Structure formats: C-alpha cells, structure tokens
Amino acid sequence: MASPQFCFCHAVAANPLPMAPKQALCSLILKSPFSSSITRSAKSHYHRNCCYSCTVDACVDVKELRSPDLVALEYADLNLTDKISRELGHVRIRQHVNPLSSSFSVPARIPDWREVFRNPTLPLMVDIGSGSGRFLIWLAKKNPDSANYLGLEIRQKLVKRAELWVKELALGNIHFLFANATVSFRQLVLEYPGPLMFVSILCPDPHFKKRHHKRRVVQKLLVDCIISNLLPGGKVFVQSDVLEVALDMRNQFDAESHVLQHIDETDPSKLIDDDGWLLNNPMGIRTEREIHAEFEGAKIYRRLYQKRT
C-alpha cells in the first residue's frame, strides 16, 4: 500500500480537479489512451501501488508523476489519440513569440462561417491564445448544440494540430485560427453571424520586461473591442499564474465597471478571496498552463466579468 503522502490520489485531493473525483482519476489512469505518453516509470507503478482511500485498486506514485501526465489525465475523456502528435512531429514551443513583429501583422482571413461551424448563428466563445486547444475542444465536445468555439493562436503548428484533433473528433462547433488576436479579433467577431457570448484570455504570455509590456495581448484596444461586441450578459474570463500579469488584466477590465460587473456581484455562489480573486475555476476544466502552474504550487489569479444588461 502506498503511503498517503506519496499517493497520487492524495495529491489530487490536496489540489482538487473540478470535474474529476479522485476515484475517477485513478480509473482514468488505467484506461487513458494517453497512457502511452505517461512516463514509463509512472506506469510501472500502476499495479504496484494501492491507494488505501480509493476504491480503484491501483494508482500512481506521485513521486513519478510529471505535469504533462496530469494534462493527459485531465483530458483523458477527449479520447484523443497521440497519432496526430506523432505525425506532426515535435511541436516546438518557443518561449514567446513577438506579436508586434511584421510577420504577425497580417489580419487572418475571415473564414466562411458556414464551412467551419455546423450552425454559424450559435452564440460564440472566443479563446484568445488557445495554446494546444485541448481546453476549448473539451468545452466544444461538452456543449455540441448550444455554442460555437473559436480559438485564436499565434503559433501555427499548435493550430494545425488542434484542427486535426477537431477533425478526428468530428466536432461541428469549433474552429482554430492561426491569428494574432491583437490584429484580427475585431474583424472576426464583427463578421461572425451570431452573438459573442464569452471571451477567455487564460495565462497569456507574460512578457516580463517593461519594454516588452506592449507585446502583451490585453491592451486597451482589445478590451474596448471585447466590451463593445459582447452580448449583454456575456462574460469575460481572464486568469494568470503571474500576479503582475493578472493585475494588469484586472486593472484594465475593472476600469470598465460601468459596463462590466465582477461575477461575485451577480452570482453569490461564485466565491472570491480577500483580494477579489475567484477561488475556483468556473469552467469545469483547467487549461494546460494552469495544470502545469498548479503542479508547481503556483496560485492562479482569476477574474470573471459579466456585461451589464
């Protein structure tokens, strides 16, 4: 029997995942199609370690667990094969790209919405800086008939892989675009035939140096554009594991309090800490950056706004 402090289930219990009770996670480990991408040493512990508080008779020794394993586990119910990743080769992630460079200044072509969405009039959620896309794919799969999902990502290879996953899952309510959101967001939402109901900006690149702050995606122009296009009652969700970046976003959205309310004002079930950060992730799933950051013990600073009706 694994000692409690080393048991994966206890690590999960200490750092709860919103949609996956610890027992479910243990069984996810066992049936995960990603199990091939889980470290060999972690796998070898499945059947050797038994958690005393879990009904499933095997779990992973947390000492062996890496944060990519947690990502694979959190998204296990998407049933994505790793065939696509193998075909595409290693998706090299450069630290940060410079969105102000001339190579990213060309606006994305507006897609034919009837080609990319089964019903192009559904309310739209836009995820700015969608990264791998798994977060948005998870939401799209969960809500196949009630909303469309658009991921904007400046790294082309991530977009290519995400689109292949969308095809593999045969989802008709999600699309990923290679786009610099700073340049393309406005036109895309203006030309979308349905209402804009949700915008998320989750763990955006921090661009720490002061002289690089202008590369950050949340700038006054984008904030104004989100607000003016958002449906009354629509929401904006921002978060970061970097306090300075979270504060920068918060200050800009808080400044619009005549049009935006923080969610705890309208929904008392959404709890905030003493500093006004949301205590829980309201989406039902964590993003990849969020999983990595929490694995390393970081706090996630979240704000969820609603446009006044």
Q: Which residues bind ligand SAM (CB under 6 A)?
A: 97, 99, 128-131, 152-155, 180-182, 202-205, 217, 287-290
Rounded least distance, CB 293 to ligand SAM, Å: 9
The residue among 96 and 308 lying less far from ligand SAM, judged by its C-beta, is: 96
SS (H, E, C) 32-89: CHHHHHCCHHHHCCCCCCCCCCCCCCCCCEHHHCCHHHHHHHHCHHHCCCCHHHHHHC
The tokens of 247 are what? 């504060």
Residue 125: φ, ψ to 5°: -110, 130
Q: How far apart are CA 125 and CA 147, in angstroms?
A: 7
**Residue 180 Cβ vs ligand SAM, minimum distance, rounded to whole Å:** 5
Contact 88, 167 (CB under 8 A): no
- Least separation in angstroms between CB 182 and ligand SAM: 5
Of the residues 205, 264, 267, 273, only one is catalytic, namely 205
Residue placing its CB nearer to ligand SAM in the complex, 13 or 97 = 97
Q: Which of 3, 5, 2, 15 is nearest to 293 (CA)?
A: 15
Q: How far is the CB of 65 from ligand SAM (least distance, A)?
A: 19
205 in catalytic set: yes
Q: DSSP H helical segments within 83-216, as ranges?
A: 83-88, 113-116, 134-142, 156-169, 181-191
Nearer to ligand SAM, 58 or 71 (CB): 71
Which of 43, 212 has the CB closer to ligand SAM?
Answer: 212
At its nearest, how many Å lie between ligand SAM and the CB of residue 195?
Answer: 22
Distance CA(218)–CA(248), nearest Å, equals: 8
Closest to 75 measured CA to CA, from 149, 132, 120, 15 = 132
Shortest-Cβ-distance residue relative to ligand SAM = 129
Cβ–Cβ contacts within 10 Å for residue 228, how many?
13
Smaller CB separation from ligand SAM, 204 or 234: 204
What is the closest distance, in whole angstroms, from the C-beta atom of residue 23 to ligand SAM in the complex? 26
Angle (CA) 187-94-160 rounded to 5° is 50
| Separation between Cα atoms, residue 22 and residue 6, nearest integer Å | 14
Q: Which residues are tagged catalytic? A: 205
